[in-house]
A and B are shown apart, each in its own frame.
Chain A
Amino acid sequence: MTDVTDKAEAKLDRPLGQRNDPRAAKLSKASKAKQKLTSPGATIAAIIIAVVWTIPTFGLLVSSVRTPEEIRTNGWWNIFVSPSFTLENYAEVLTTQGASSANLGSYFVNSLVIAIPSALFPIILATMAAYAFAWIKFKGSGAIFVLIFALQIVPLQMALIPLLQIFSGVLGISGTFPAVWIAHTIFGLPLTIFLMHNFISEIPGEVIEAARVDGANHTQIFFRIIIPLSLPALASIGIFQFLWVWNDLLVALVFSGGTADVAPLTQRLAELVGNFGRNQERLPAAAFISLIIPLIVFFSLQRYFVRGLLAGSTKG
């Protein structure tokens, strides 16, 4: 069983369009020459890039723990001259209620309530559909699958107006959590079906054939073989979809109604930054609250994150 998953997992670690198998290179690592190709110049260039790429985020993190007065009057680098530390910005943006306050506590909850189902729904439906496309023979299977693959090229923008009309006119759910869940589920399906199909079709036919001979039907095969074997793929794609939804602004703007009842963090942040002058002492802490979940996911699950990214980068 592990052989099966290993082989399929190896596929997950390879970017699309990658011809060579990186594992082959790893094997021959022993024969790798000792000398380094990188010159001192290259090392310096790399360090400069790394620093330039890190400073903006680092500056925001530093800003977020300075007092509002300091944020307004001088730059974050002054912290090295006159060190200070406070969490009052975080307390302020998270817990203060009222029309003019950031009220991010509510929006944080909204983001979670939006992102968890919006990650689970599409991957479950996609796994079901992918199984059917990979292992149930039926007429038109290939054509429909190609059609679904092709749907990835439809920009979200093409679907927004009519879908909003359906939600508000026909279903009457515009501006509710279910509307946002359904929208994200629909937009996530083409890619998740495609990726899950890639994975599920790699499961050796003998495993499934053996189950069929034992008298298992499709539902049983699905729950007893497909789901357990697909867990690594489900994790990668699920994490990727979760982050995509968590970071999304467009779908939220169109379908959430924009109030503290439903709208996610990104929407509130976009509003706050729209009035930059008035909110600048709140923004560093506010932005970091929205970054914290992606950053935790990124640093703790980097392996899965990279896989999801390698596979799912064409989404949108």
Chain B
Amino acid sequence: MRGLAPFWSDLFEKFGLMLLGLVAFAAIVGIILFVADKAPKKGRDVWQLLAFIAPALLLLAVGLIYPAVRTAILAFFDRTGDEFVGLDNFAWMFTQPDILRTLINTLIWVALVPTLSTIIGLAYAVFIDKSKGEKVLKSLVFMPMAISFVGAGIIWRFMYEFRELGFAEQIGLLNQIIVWFGGEPQQFLVDSPWNTFFLIVVMVWIQTGFAMVLLSAAIKGVPVEIIEAARLDGANAWQQFRNVTLPGIRGTLVVVVTTISIATLKVFDIVRSMTGGNFDTSVVANEMYTQAFNRNEFGYGSALALVLFLMVLPIVVYNVRVMRKQKEIR
């Protein structure tokens, strides 16, 4: 308990800095708008326009466009960024067993997470639709969405915790259940290749709530009259779902699947905090960080970032096209 005093001085110092930052920001924005307001009559509109969009555009140009272009270029240079190496970084990527494993893992993630999350989320949304306590039931499954991936990682580290049989009591619930049923406790996060699937479970646990909330909103948007008509025609619950609800929520389904796919491709925190990418569990986003910031291999890191970009690109393009089509329909 010693040393609460340094904590308070530390706190005041940091909040002071924050206040200073906020005031500085307000002052800059205020001055820009004020100057634009008082600009000479001639061309005032241009000045005001600049005042409104220049700050955002400047930040984006310097902080996002330039870096992205530079990363794309660095992908073809060596670790220091001085020497052009052509496609060597990509050749390295596809010849190293470790990195190939990383690429394959990423594909497994992106195949499983959207599928499982969407199916479970959709089933749950249908099951609880119009039921008593729907709100509470929704909150329970949706809650993991609010917490950080790191927090989720810790929660599941405890679920998966392993103790050698006979040496100690299990403290992880899953292994305890296995032991209760007379099984052998498993090292869920160490034994490859299954450990990747146990990491995927964590992501599914988080994303299911997201899928459920969106799909639930969509289900409620399907006109009751059509469902009613189908029911009167003698369709059973499954047929009603299959022939009325499902077509009615197709647009939302596409958005849910693509959104979760994109989030999954970029998954970093879960792998980082649960296995650190060891035991053959690494994924592209994690490997990119390891290469660039732990090993200072900026060439390799940039190449991996570029691969990630190329994986995300088609999904986003598809997503945007679907959304635009829907806008036209609407």
- List, in ascending order, chain A residues with CB within 8 A of B99's CB: none
Q: Are B127 and A77 in contact (CB under 8 A)?
A: no
B113 adjacent to chain A (CB < 8 Å): no
Q: Are B2 and A243 in contact (CB under 8 A)?
A: no
Q: Which residue of A lies closest to B202 (CB)?
A: A56
Binds B, one of A1-9, A11-19, A201-209, A228-236: A11-19
A55 adjacent to chain B (CB < 8 Å): yes
Interface size on B, residues (CB 8 A): 136
A13 to B309, CA, bound (A): 30
Which of B22, B67, B154 is A158 in contact with, Cβ under 8 Å? B67
- List, in ascending order, chain B residues with CB within 8 A of A183's CB: 63
A126 adjacent to chain B (CB < 8 Å): yes
- List, in ascending order, chain A residues with CB within 8 A of B178's CB: none
Binds A, one of B89-97, B100-108, B190-198, B251-259: B251-259
B312 adjacent to chain A (CB < 8 Å): yes
Q: Are B305 and A269 in contact (CB under 8 A)?
A: no
Q: Are A71 and B171 in contact (CB under 8 A)?
A: yes
A71 to B231, CA, bound (A): 54
A208 to B227, CA, bound (A): 43
Q: Which residue of A lies closest to B124 (CB)?
A: A49
Q: Are A273 and B255 in contact (CB under 8 A)?
A: no
Q: Which residue of B lies closest to A71 (CB)?
A: B171
Q: Which residue of B lies closest to A37 (CB)?
A: B237
In the complex, chain B residues 128-170 whose Cβ is within 8 Å of any chain A Cβ: 128-131, 137, 139-141, 143-151, 153-159, 161, 168-170
A263 to B48, CA, bound (A): 38
A110 to B222, CA, bound (A): 45
- List, in ascending order, chain B residues with CB within 8 A of A162's CB: 66-67, 70-71, 74
- B residues contacting A by CB (< 8 A) are 1-4, 6-7, 10-11, 14-15, 17-18, 21-22, 25, 29, 33-34, 36-37, 44-45, 48-49, 51-53, 55-57, 59-60, 62-68, 70-72, 74, 120, 123-124, 126-131, 137, 139-141, 143-151, 153-159, 161, 168-173, 176, 205, 208-210, 213-214, 217-218, 220-225, 228, 231, 237, 240, 248, 251-252, 254-255, 259, 262-263, 265-266, 268-269, 272-274, 276, 285, 288-289, 292-293, 298, 301-302, 304-306, 308-309, 312-313, 316, 319, 322-323, 326, 329-330
A to B CB contacts below 8 Å, 7 in the list: A53-B140, A158-B71, A158-B309, A247-B149, A305-B146, A313-B210, A314-B259
